[in-house]
Structure 1
Protein backbone atom coordinates (compact mmCIF):
# COMPACT_ATOMS: atom_id res chain seq x y z
CA UNK A 1 0.00 0.00 0.00
CA UNK A 2 1.29 3.47 -0.91
CA UNK A 3 2.58 5.64 1.91
CA UNK A 4 1.01 9.11 1.86
CA UNK A 5 2.77 12.19 3.30
CA UNK A 6 1.51 15.75 3.70
CA UNK A 7 4.01 18.57 4.13
CA UNK A 8 2.73 22.05 4.97
CA UNK A 9 4.49 25.08 3.53
CA UNK A 10 6.04 22.75 0.97
CA UNK A 11 6.21 24.98 -2.09
CA UNK A 12 9.81 26.03 -1.31
CA UNK A 13 12.77 25.70 1.02
CA UNK A 14 12.95 22.94 3.62
CA UNK A 15 9.35 21.95 2.94
CA UNK A 16 9.95 21.28 -0.75
CA UNK A 17 13.21 19.47 -0.04
CA UNK A 18 11.47 17.34 2.60
CA UNK A 19 8.84 16.43 0.01
CA UNK A 20 11.55 15.58 -2.51
CA UNK A 21 13.49 13.34 -0.13
CA UNK A 22 10.34 11.54 1.02
CA UNK A 23 9.25 11.08 -2.58
CA UNK A 24 12.66 9.61 -3.37
CA UNK A 25 11.77 6.84 -0.91
CA UNK A 26 8.71 5.94 -2.98
CA UNK A 27 6.29 7.93 -0.80
CA UNK A 28 3.43 9.85 -2.43
CA UNK A 29 3.82 13.43 -1.24
CA UNK A 30 1.13 16.07 -0.94
CA UNK A 31 2.33 19.65 -1.25
CA UNK A 32 0.35 21.80 1.16
CA UNK A 33 0.63 25.52 0.37
CA UNK A 34 -1.50 28.63 0.67
CA UNK A 35 -0.41 29.97 -2.73
CA UNK A 36 -2.08 27.75 -5.34
CA UNK A 37 0.20 28.75 -8.22
CA UNK A 38 3.38 28.10 -6.21
CA UNK A 39 2.00 24.88 -4.76
CA UNK A 40 1.02 23.54 -8.18
CA UNK A 41 4.41 24.50 -9.57
CA UNK A 42 6.20 22.68 -6.76
CA UNK A 43 4.14 19.52 -7.34
CA UNK A 44 4.82 19.70 -11.07
CA UNK A 45 8.54 20.09 -10.42
CA UNK A 46 8.57 16.88 -8.39
CA UNK A 47 6.44 15.10 -10.97
CA UNK A 48 8.93 16.13 -13.67
CA UNK A 49 11.66 14.56 -11.54
CA UNK A 50 9.74 11.29 -11.66
CA UNK A 51 8.12 11.45 -8.23
CA UNK A 52 4.55 10.92 -7.09
CA UNK A 53 3.30 14.30 -5.91
CA UNK A 54 0.22 16.46 -5.92
CA UNK A 55 -0.97 19.72 -4.39
CA UNK A 56 -3.77 20.76 -2.06
CA UNK A 57 -4.59 24.32 -1.00
CA UNK A 58 -3.79 24.69 2.68
CA UNK A 59 -3.63 27.89 4.72
CA UNK A 60 -2.63 26.55 8.12
CA UNK A 61 -3.91 29.61 9.99
CA UNK A 62 -7.40 29.30 8.47
CA UNK A 63 -9.58 26.68 10.14
CA UNK A 64 -11.94 26.34 7.15
CA UNK A 65 -8.98 25.78 4.83
CA UNK A 66 -7.51 23.11 7.12
CA UNK A 67 -10.84 21.30 7.41
CA UNK A 68 -11.28 21.36 3.62
CA UNK A 69 -7.76 19.99 3.14
CA UNK A 70 -8.47 17.13 5.53
CA UNK A 71 -11.66 16.33 3.64
CA UNK A 72 -9.77 16.37 0.33
CA UNK A 73 -7.17 13.91 1.63
CA UNK A 74 -9.96 11.74 3.05
CA UNK A 75 -11.73 11.65 -0.30
CA UNK A 76 -8.57 10.99 -2.35
CA UNK A 77 -6.63 8.61 -0.12
CA UNK A 78 -8.67 7.63 2.93
CA UNK A 79 -5.63 7.85 5.22
CA UNK A 80 -2.44 9.75 5.98
CA UNK A 81 0.84 8.15 7.03
CA UNK A 82 3.12 11.15 7.54
CA UNK A 83 2.34 14.73 8.55
CA UNK A 84 5.13 17.31 8.55
CA UNK A 85 4.08 20.60 10.13
CA UNK A 86 6.67 22.65 8.31
CA UNK A 87 4.93 25.96 7.56
CA UNK A 88 6.40 28.75 9.65
CA UNK A 89 7.31 32.42 9.60
CA UNK A 90 9.98 34.60 11.23
CA UNK A 91 9.05 38.19 10.29
CA UNK A 92 10.83 39.71 13.27
CA UNK A 93 14.23 38.86 11.83
CA UNK A 94 13.45 40.48 8.48
CA UNK A 95 11.88 43.52 10.12
CA UNK A 96 14.61 44.00 12.71
CA UNK A 97 12.26 43.55 15.66
CA UNK A 98 14.50 42.43 18.53
CA UNK A 99 12.91 43.93 21.63
CA UNK A 100 9.62 43.95 23.48
CA UNK A 101 9.28 47.67 22.83
CA UNK A 102 9.41 47.11 19.07
CA UNK A 103 7.01 44.17 19.08
CA UNK A 104 3.41 44.96 18.23
CA UNK A 105 0.65 42.69 19.45
CA UNK A 106 -0.46 42.31 15.85
CA UNK A 107 2.94 40.97 14.79
CA UNK A 108 3.13 38.62 17.77
CA UNK A 109 -0.30 37.21 16.99
CA UNK A 110 0.65 36.82 13.33
CA UNK A 111 3.67 34.71 14.28
CA UNK A 112 1.66 32.52 16.64
CA UNK A 113 -1.16 32.10 14.13
CA UNK A 114 1.20 30.36 11.70
CA UNK A 115 3.82 28.80 13.98
CA UNK A 116 1.60 27.53 16.80
CA UNK A 117 -2.12 27.63 16.05
CA UNK A 118 -1.47 26.40 12.51
CA UNK A 119 0.23 23.13 13.51
CA UNK A 120 -2.42 22.62 16.19
CA UNK A 121 -5.26 22.96 13.68
CA UNK A 122 -3.60 20.79 11.06
CA UNK A 123 -2.72 18.07 13.53
CA UNK A 124 -6.18 18.06 15.09
CA UNK A 125 -7.95 17.73 11.76
CA UNK A 126 -5.61 15.08 10.34
CA UNK A 127 -5.32 12.86 13.44
CA UNK A 128 -8.25 10.66 12.36
CA UNK A 129 -6.53 10.01 9.03
CA UNK A 130 -3.20 9.29 10.73
CA UNK A 131 -5.03 6.84 12.96
CA UNK A 132 -5.83 4.79 9.85
CA UNK A 133 -2.13 4.38 9.07
CA UNK A 134 -0.17 1.34 10.17
CA UNK A 135 2.59 3.68 11.36
CA UNK A 136 1.48 7.31 11.57
CA UNK A 137 4.25 9.86 12.00
CA UNK A 138 3.99 13.56 12.87
CA UNK A 139 7.01 15.86 12.68
CA UNK A 140 6.79 19.39 14.02
CA UNK A 141 9.48 21.54 12.40
CA UNK A 142 10.79 23.47 15.38
CA UNK A 143 14.06 25.22 16.18
CA UNK A 144 16.69 25.32 18.88
CA UNK A 145 15.67 28.98 19.10
CA UNK A 146 12.67 27.56 20.95
CA UNK A 147 14.80 25.54 23.36
CA UNK A 148 14.64 27.10 26.82
CA UNK A 149 17.88 25.29 27.57
CA UNK A 150 19.72 26.92 24.67
CA UNK A 151 18.05 30.29 25.16
CA UNK A 152 19.21 30.33 28.79
CA UNK A 153 22.81 29.35 27.98
CA UNK A 154 25.12 32.23 26.93
CA UNK A 155 27.45 29.68 25.34
CA UNK A 156 24.76 28.34 23.02
CA UNK A 157 24.96 29.51 19.38
CA UNK A 158 21.21 30.16 19.63
CA UNK A 159 21.50 32.46 22.66
CA UNK A 160 21.81 35.55 20.49
CA UNK A 161 18.69 34.77 18.47
CA UNK A 162 16.49 36.99 20.61
CA UNK A 163 13.20 37.26 18.73
CA UNK A 164 10.48 36.83 21.33
CA UNK A 165 7.65 35.90 18.99
CA UNK A 166 9.43 33.30 16.86
CA UNK A 167 11.34 31.75 19.75
CA UNK A 168 8.37 31.47 22.09
CA UNK A 169 6.13 30.16 19.31
CA UNK A 170 8.59 27.32 18.74
CA UNK A 171 8.76 26.69 22.51
CA UNK A 172 4.97 26.44 22.45
CA UNK A 173 5.09 24.12 19.46
CA UNK A 174 7.44 21.86 21.42
CA UNK A 175 4.92 21.88 24.26
CA UNK A 176 2.27 20.65 21.81
CA UNK A 177 4.62 17.82 20.85
CA UNK A 178 4.94 16.74 24.48
CA UNK A 179 1.21 16.95 25.17
CA UNK A 180 0.23 15.08 22.02
CA UNK A 181 2.86 12.39 22.58
CA UNK A 182 1.26 11.54 25.91
CA UNK A 183 -2.12 11.20 24.22
CA UNK A 184 -0.63 8.98 21.50
CA UNK A 185 1.16 6.59 23.87
CA UNK A 186 0.14 3.06 23.00
CA UNK A 187 -1.15 4.00 19.55
CA UNK A 188 0.36 3.54 16.09
CA UNK A 189 1.22 7.27 15.85
CA UNK A 190 4.44 9.00 16.95
CA UNK A 191 5.09 12.73 17.17
CA UNK A 192 8.43 14.50 17.55
CA UNK A 193 9.92 17.97 17.12
CA UNK A 194 12.82 18.54 14.73
CA UNK A 195 15.42 21.29 14.49
CA UNK A 196 16.86 21.48 10.96
CA UNK A 197 19.39 24.11 12.04
CA UNK A 198 20.18 27.42 10.35
CA UNK A 199 19.40 26.68 6.72
CA UNK A 200 19.79 28.59 3.44
CA UNK A 201 16.15 29.52 2.77
CA UNK A 202 14.18 32.73 2.34
CA UNK A 203 13.79 32.74 6.12
CA UNK A 204 17.33 31.66 6.95
CA UNK A 205 19.02 33.84 4.29
CA UNK A 206 22.04 33.05 2.15
CA UNK A 207 24.26 33.60 5.19
CA UNK A 208 23.12 30.31 6.73
CA UNK A 209 25.77 27.55 6.87
CA UNK A 210 23.46 24.63 6.06
CA UNK A 211 21.78 23.56 2.82
CA UNK A 212 18.13 22.57 2.57
CA UNK A 213 19.31 19.04 1.85
CA UNK A 214 21.11 18.94 5.19
CA UNK A 215 18.26 20.63 7.03
CA UNK A 216 15.68 18.15 5.81
CA UNK A 217 17.69 15.18 7.05
CA UNK A 218 16.38 15.07 10.62
CA UNK A 219 12.81 15.63 9.41
CA UNK A 220 13.08 12.65 7.07
CA UNK A 221 14.51 10.52 9.86
CA UNK A 222 11.65 11.34 12.24
CA UNK A 223 9.03 10.99 9.49
CA UNK A 224 10.16 7.44 8.75
CA UNK A 225 10.85 6.16 12.26
CA UNK A 226 10.60 2.43 12.92
CA UNK A 227 8.03 1.19 15.40
CA UNK A 228 10.58 1.24 18.23
CA UNK A 229 11.54 4.87 17.52
CA UNK A 230 11.05 7.73 19.98
CA UNK A 231 7.79 9.50 20.72
CA UNK A 232 7.59 12.99 22.19
CA UNK A 233 11.20 14.04 21.67
CA UNK A 234 13.10 17.03 20.29
CA UNK A 235 15.98 16.25 17.93
CA UNK A 236 18.52 17.59 15.49
CA UNK A 237 20.88 15.49 13.41
CA UNK A 238 23.28 15.16 16.36
CA UNK A 239 20.64 13.74 18.71
CA UNK A 240 18.30 14.96 21.43
CA UNK A 241 17.99 18.68 22.21
CA UNK A 242 17.30 20.01 25.69
CA UNK A 243 13.82 21.44 26.03
Structure 2
Protein backbone atom coordinates (compact mmCIF):
# COMPACT_ATOMS: atom_id res chain seq x y z
CA UNK A 1 0.00 0.00 0.00
CA UNK A 2 1.63 3.20 -1.15
CA UNK A 3 0.98 6.86 -0.45
CA UNK A 4 -1.05 8.82 -2.95
CA UNK A 5 1.15 10.73 -5.38
CA UNK A 6 0.96 14.46 -4.91
CA UNK A 7 -1.45 16.05 -7.35
CA UNK A 8 -2.69 19.56 -8.06
CA UNK A 9 -6.19 18.50 -7.08
CA UNK A 10 -6.56 16.41 -3.95
CA UNK A 11 -8.19 13.11 -4.82
CA UNK A 12 -11.55 12.44 -3.21
CA UNK A 13 -12.68 9.07 -1.79
CA UNK A 14 -16.18 8.19 -0.61
CA UNK A 15 -16.56 5.29 1.85
CA UNK A 16 -20.06 4.11 2.74
CA UNK A 17 -20.90 2.43 6.03
CA UNK A 18 -17.92 4.24 7.54
CA UNK A 19 -19.11 4.73 11.11
CA UNK A 20 -17.46 1.54 12.39
CA UNK A 21 -15.53 -1.60 11.49
CA UNK A 22 -13.98 -1.96 8.06
CA UNK A 23 -15.54 1.23 6.70
CA UNK A 24 -14.18 3.36 9.52
CA UNK A 25 -10.71 1.82 9.27
CA UNK A 26 -10.66 2.24 5.48
CA UNK A 27 -11.69 5.89 5.79
CA UNK A 28 -8.91 6.56 8.31
CA UNK A 29 -6.34 4.82 6.10
CA UNK A 30 -7.31 6.66 2.94
CA UNK A 31 -7.26 10.00 4.77
CA UNK A 32 -3.75 9.25 6.04
CA UNK A 33 -2.76 8.29 2.48
CA UNK A 34 -3.67 11.75 1.24
CA UNK A 35 -7.27 11.51 0.08
CA UNK A 36 -10.03 13.91 1.02
CA UNK A 37 -12.34 11.33 2.56
CA UNK A 38 -16.10 11.54 2.41
CA UNK A 39 -17.42 9.50 5.34
CA UNK A 40 -20.81 7.99 4.57
CA UNK A 41 -22.80 7.43 7.77
CA UNK A 42 -26.41 7.22 8.90
CA UNK A 43 -25.88 9.30 12.04
CA UNK A 44 -23.81 12.46 11.56
CA UNK A 45 -23.73 13.38 15.25
CA UNK A 46 -22.51 9.94 16.33
CA UNK A 47 -19.59 10.13 13.87
CA UNK A 48 -18.17 13.53 14.85
CA UNK A 49 -15.39 11.83 16.80
CA UNK A 50 -14.25 9.99 13.67
CA UNK A 51 -14.09 13.23 11.70
CA UNK A 52 -12.16 14.88 14.54
CA UNK A 53 -9.68 11.97 14.55
CA UNK A 54 -9.02 12.48 10.85
CA UNK A 55 -8.55 16.22 11.20
CA UNK A 56 -6.38 15.99 14.32
CA UNK A 57 -3.82 14.13 12.22
CA UNK A 58 -3.76 16.96 9.67
CA UNK A 59 -5.88 15.10 7.15
CA UNK A 60 -9.10 16.16 5.45
CA UNK A 61 -12.55 14.67 5.60
CA UNK A 62 -16.25 15.37 5.60
CA UNK A 63 -19.25 13.55 7.02
CA UNK A 64 -21.95 12.63 4.49
CA UNK A 65 -25.41 11.64 5.73
CA UNK A 66 -26.33 8.51 3.81
CA UNK A 67 -29.12 5.98 4.21
CA UNK A 68 -29.04 3.53 1.30
CA UNK A 69 -32.64 2.53 2.02
CA UNK A 70 -33.78 6.10 1.35
CA UNK A 71 -33.62 7.36 -2.28
CA UNK A 72 -33.86 11.00 -1.21
CA UNK A 73 -30.85 10.52 1.08
CA UNK A 74 -28.83 9.22 -1.88
CA UNK A 75 -29.92 12.16 -4.06
CA UNK A 76 -29.03 14.72 -1.39
CA UNK A 77 -25.65 13.12 -0.72
CA UNK A 78 -24.68 13.03 -4.41
CA UNK A 79 -25.80 16.62 -5.04
CA UNK A 80 -23.69 17.77 -2.10
CA UNK A 81 -20.61 15.89 -3.30
CA UNK A 82 -20.99 17.31 -6.81
CA UNK A 83 -21.43 20.86 -5.51
CA UNK A 84 -18.46 20.76 -3.14
CA UNK A 85 -16.01 18.51 -5.01
CA UNK A 86 -17.08 18.25 -8.65
CA UNK A 87 -15.69 14.76 -9.19
CA UNK A 88 -14.95 11.53 -7.33
CA UNK A 89 -11.79 9.42 -7.55
CA UNK A 90 -12.69 6.49 -5.32
CA UNK A 91 -15.98 4.89 -4.29
CA UNK A 92 -15.90 2.17 -1.64
CA UNK A 93 -19.30 0.48 -1.43
CA UNK A 94 -18.92 -0.94 2.06
CA UNK A 95 -22.32 -0.45 3.72
CA UNK A 96 -24.10 -3.76 4.32
CA UNK A 97 -26.39 -5.58 6.74
CA UNK A 98 -26.81 -9.22 7.73
CA UNK A 99 -30.31 -10.15 8.98
CA UNK A 100 -30.42 -13.95 8.56
CA UNK A 101 -29.82 -14.48 12.28
CA UNK A 102 -26.58 -16.44 12.11
CA UNK A 103 -23.88 -17.75 9.82
CA UNK A 104 -24.40 -21.48 10.37
CA UNK A 105 -27.29 -23.27 8.70
CA UNK A 106 -29.26 -22.82 5.51
CA UNK A 107 -32.01 -20.17 5.52
CA UNK A 108 -33.09 -20.59 1.89
CA UNK A 109 -36.51 -22.02 2.75
CA UNK A 110 -37.02 -20.31 6.10
CA UNK A 111 -35.97 -16.72 5.29
CA UNK A 112 -38.91 -14.33 5.42
CA UNK A 113 -39.59 -12.29 2.29
CA UNK A 114 -39.42 -9.07 4.31
CA UNK A 115 -35.94 -9.95 5.57
CA UNK A 116 -34.80 -10.83 2.07
CA UNK A 117 -36.11 -7.53 0.71
CA UNK A 118 -34.57 -5.48 3.53
CA UNK A 119 -31.19 -7.14 2.94
CA UNK A 120 -31.27 -6.43 -0.78
CA UNK A 121 -32.45 -2.83 -0.26
CA UNK A 122 -29.18 -2.01 1.53
CA UNK A 123 -26.67 -4.50 0.17
CA UNK A 124 -27.70 -4.28 -3.46
CA UNK A 125 -30.47 -1.90 -4.57
CA UNK A 126 -29.22 1.04 -2.51
CA UNK A 127 -25.64 0.39 -3.54
CA UNK A 128 -26.61 0.24 -7.21
CA UNK A 129 -28.61 3.47 -6.94
CA UNK A 130 -25.72 5.28 -5.26
CA UNK A 131 -23.19 4.03 -7.81
CA UNK A 132 -25.42 5.03 -10.72
CA UNK A 133 -25.88 8.51 -9.27
CA UNK A 134 -22.14 8.95 -8.71
CA UNK A 135 -21.10 7.55 -12.11
CA UNK A 136 -20.87 10.98 -13.83
CA UNK A 137 -18.57 12.20 -11.03
CA UNK A 138 -16.36 9.13 -11.39
CA UNK A 139 -16.11 9.81 -15.14
CA UNK A 140 -15.12 13.42 -14.46
CA UNK A 141 -12.19 12.27 -12.33
CA UNK A 142 -10.47 10.91 -15.45
CA UNK A 143 -9.32 7.83 -13.57
CA UNK A 144 -11.35 6.29 -10.76
CA UNK A 145 -11.67 3.11 -8.71
CA UNK A 146 -14.88 1.51 -7.47
CA UNK A 147 -14.51 -1.13 -4.77
CA UNK A 148 -17.50 -3.29 -3.89
CA UNK A 149 -16.87 -4.85 -0.49
CA UNK A 150 -18.10 -8.39 -1.01
CA UNK A 151 -17.57 -11.72 0.73
CA UNK A 152 -16.64 -15.25 -0.19
CA UNK A 153 -20.21 -15.93 1.00
CA UNK A 154 -21.22 -14.46 -2.36
CA UNK A 155 -19.18 -17.01 -4.31
CA UNK A 156 -21.44 -19.52 -6.05
CA UNK A 157 -18.36 -21.60 -6.85
CA UNK A 158 -17.64 -22.09 -3.15
CA UNK A 159 -21.28 -22.76 -2.30
CA UNK A 160 -21.61 -25.36 -5.07
CA UNK A 161 -18.57 -27.32 -3.84
CA UNK A 162 -19.77 -30.23 -1.67
CA UNK A 163 -16.33 -30.39 -0.08
CA UNK A 164 -15.74 -26.67 0.05
CA UNK A 165 -15.40 -24.22 2.94
CA UNK A 166 -19.06 -23.13 2.97
CA UNK A 167 -20.83 -26.45 3.53
CA UNK A 168 -23.55 -25.78 6.10
CA UNK A 169 -22.83 -22.05 6.04
CA UNK A 170 -25.62 -20.61 3.90
CA UNK A 171 -27.44 -17.53 5.23
CA UNK A 172 -29.39 -17.05 2.01
CA UNK A 173 -30.36 -13.37 2.14
CA UNK A 174 -26.83 -12.19 2.87
CA UNK A 175 -25.17 -14.59 0.44
CA UNK A 176 -27.55 -13.80 -2.42
CA UNK A 177 -27.09 -10.05 -1.91
CA UNK A 178 -23.32 -10.41 -2.13
CA UNK A 179 -23.59 -12.58 -5.25
CA UNK A 180 -25.71 -9.83 -6.79
CA UNK A 181 -23.11 -7.26 -5.75
CA UNK A 182 -20.49 -9.31 -7.58
CA UNK A 183 -22.66 -9.16 -10.69
CA UNK A 184 -22.60 -5.38 -10.36
CA UNK A 185 -18.80 -5.56 -10.36
CA UNK A 186 -18.49 -7.61 -13.56
CA UNK A 187 -21.14 -5.63 -15.45
CA UNK A 188 -19.94 -2.21 -14.34
CA UNK A 189 -16.31 -3.08 -15.08
CA UNK A 190 -17.16 -3.50 -18.76
CA UNK A 191 -18.75 -0.03 -18.88
CA UNK A 192 -15.96 1.57 -16.92
CA UNK A 193 -12.96 0.18 -18.76
CA UNK A 194 -13.01 2.58 -21.74
CA UNK A 195 -13.69 5.46 -19.33
CA UNK A 196 -10.72 4.81 -17.06
CA UNK A 197 -12.89 3.49 -14.23
CA UNK A 198 -11.75 0.25 -12.58
CA UNK A 199 -14.37 -1.78 -10.72
CA UNK A 200 -13.45 -4.67 -8.44
CA UNK A 201 -14.90 -6.76 -5.62
CA UNK A 202 -12.94 -7.08 -2.39
CA UNK A 203 -13.20 -9.98 0.04
CA UNK A 204 -11.61 -8.62 3.23
CA UNK A 205 -11.40 -12.05 4.84
CA UNK A 206 -13.07 -13.17 8.06
CA UNK A 207 -12.56 -10.05 10.16
CA UNK A 208 -13.18 -9.33 13.85
CA UNK A 209 -15.99 -6.81 13.48
CA UNK A 210 -19.52 -6.71 14.86
CA UNK A 211 -20.60 -8.59 11.75
CA UNK A 212 -17.66 -11.00 11.68
CA UNK A 213 -17.79 -11.71 15.45
CA UNK A 214 -14.89 -11.96 17.89
CA UNK A 215 -14.06 -15.45 16.60
CA UNK A 216 -12.83 -14.20 13.22
CA UNK A 217 -9.28 -14.75 12.03
CA UNK A 218 -8.22 -11.22 11.04
CA UNK A 219 -8.01 -7.86 12.74
CA UNK A 220 -9.75 -4.87 11.17
CA UNK A 221 -6.35 -3.48 10.18
CA UNK A 222 -5.58 -6.71 8.32
CA UNK A 223 -9.05 -6.80 6.82
CA UNK A 224 -8.87 -3.43 5.10
CA UNK A 225 -5.74 -4.30 3.13
CA UNK A 226 -7.61 -5.70 0.13
CA UNK A 227 -10.10 -2.82 0.19
CA UNK A 228 -7.56 -0.01 0.22
CA UNK A 229 -5.22 -1.75 -2.22
CA UNK A 230 -8.03 -1.89 -4.78
CA UNK A 231 -9.14 1.64 -3.93
CA UNK A 232 -5.65 2.99 -4.64
CA UNK A 233 -4.93 1.07 -7.86
CA UNK A 234 -3.05 3.15 -10.41
CA UNK A 235 -4.57 3.60 -13.89
CA UNK A 236 -4.63 0.63 -16.26
CA UNK A 237 -4.10 -1.91 -13.48
CA UNK A 238 -6.97 -4.39 -13.38
CA UNK A 239 -10.74 -4.40 -13.36
CA UNK A 240 -13.61 -6.86 -13.04
CA UNK A 241 -11.79 -8.92 -10.41
CA UNK A 242 -12.86 -10.55 -7.14
CA UNK A 243 -9.86 -10.54 -4.82
CA UNK A 244 -8.52 -11.22 -1.36
CA UNK A 245 -4.98 -10.19 -0.42
CA UNK A 246 -3.89 -10.03 -4.05
CA UNK A 247 -5.32 -13.44 -5.01
CA UNK A 248 -8.46 -14.00 -7.06
CA UNK A 249 -11.58 -15.46 -5.46
CA UNK A 250 -13.82 -17.67 -7.66
CA UNK A 251 -17.14 -16.11 -8.62
TM-score by length of 2: 0.92
The structural deviation recorded for 1:96 is: 7.6
* Contact 1:88/1:114 (8 A) holds in 2: yes
Q: How big is each residue's C-alpha offset from its partner over 1:201-230, in whole Å with a ceiling of 9 and x where there is no partner?
A: 111111111111111101111111111211
Q: How does 1:195-214 map to 2 (within 5 A)?
A: 195-214=203-222
Give the equivalent residue in structure 2 for 1:104. 112
Q: Distance in 1 between matches of 2:151 and 2:205?
A: 7
Give the equivalent residue in structure 2 for 1:225. 233
CA-based RMSD: 1.6
Structure 2 residue 62 is matched with structure 1 residue 54: yes
Q: How big is each residue's C-alpha offset from its partner over 1:9-44, in whole Å with a ceiling of 9 and x where there is no partner?
A: 001000011111111111111100112222333222
Counterpart secondary structure, 2:195: coil
Q: Distance in 1 between matches of 2:57 and 2:102?
A: 33
62 and 96 in structure 1: CA distance in 2 versus 1, 3 angstrom threshold: farther
4+ runs deviating over 4 angstroms: 94-97
Give the equivalent residue in structure 1 for 2:35. 27
The gaps in structure 1 that reach 5 residues or longer are none
The structural deviation recorded for 1:110 is: 0.7
Structure 2 residue 98 is matched with structure 1 residue 90: yes
Give the equivalent residue in structure 1 for 2:124. 116
Q: Which moved more, 1:43-52 or 1:229-238?
A: 43-52
The structural deviation recorded for 1:2 is: 0.1
* Contact 1:7/1:85 (8 A) holds in 2: yes
Q: How does 1:3-14 map to 2 (within 5 A)?
A: 3-14=11-22
* Contact 1:97/1:103 (8 A) holds in 2: no
* Contact 1:112/1:165 (8 A) holds in 2: yes
TM-score by length of 1: 0.95
Q: Distance in 2 between matches of 1:96 and 1:156?
A: 14
Give the equivalent residue in structure 1 for 2:4. none
Q: Which moved more, 1:163-172 or 1:42-51?
A: 42-51
The structural deviation recorded for 1:238 is: 4.2
Q: How big is each residue's C-alpha offset from its partner over 1:84-143, in whole Å with a ceiling of 9 and x where there is no partner?
A: 000001121449874234311000101101111121011001011111113111000000
Q: Distance in 1 between matches of 2:49 and 2:164?
A: 39
